[in-house]
Amino acid sequence: MTLLATNGRLRECATAVDALPIEPTLRVACLGTFRIAGLGAWDDGPPARRARELLLYLVLHPKNTAPRERLIELLWPDLGGDGVAHRLHLAASAVRTSVRAVLGGFDALRCSGAGYAWHPSLRIVSDVATFSALYHGGSVQACKDAVALYTGELLCGEQGDWLQPLRVKYAAMHASMLERLADGAVEQRNFEEALHYGLELLASDRAHEGASRLVMRCFAALGRRSQAANEYEALRAYVHKHLGVEPMPETQVLIRTILGEERAPQRLK
pLDDT by residue for the chain (269 residues), tens only, comes to 454 454 555 455 444 434 434 689 999 999 999 999 998 899 999 999 999 999 999 999 999 899 999 999 999 988 876 789 899 999 999 999 999 999 999 999 999 888 999 999 999 999 999 999 999 998 999 999 999 999 999 999 998 899 999 999 999 999 999 999 999 999 999 999 999 999 999 998 999 999 999 999 999 999 999 999 999 999 999 999 999 999 999 999 999 999 996 444 443 33
Q: Which pLDDT does position 9 carry in this prediction?
A: 55
pTM greater than the 0.85 cutoff: no
* Contact (Cβ atoms closer than 8 angstroms) between residue 171 and residue 135: no
36 has which bridge partners?
28, 43
How far, rounded to the nearest angstrom, does the alpha carbon of residue 83 sit from its chain's CA centroid? 34
Residue 187 has a pLDDT of 95
Q: CATH 1.10.10.10 occupies which residues in the chain?
A: 25-125
Domain 25-125 -> CATH class = mainly alpha
What pLDDT was estimated at residue 99? 96
Q: Of 98, 73, 100, which Cα lies nearest the Cα of 87?
A: 73
Q: CATH number of 128-259: 1.25.40.10, 3.40.140.10, 1.10.3720.10, 1.10.150.20?
A: 1.25.40.10
Residue 196, classified by CB atoms within 10 Å of its CB into exposed (0-12), middle (13-18) or buried (19+), is: middle
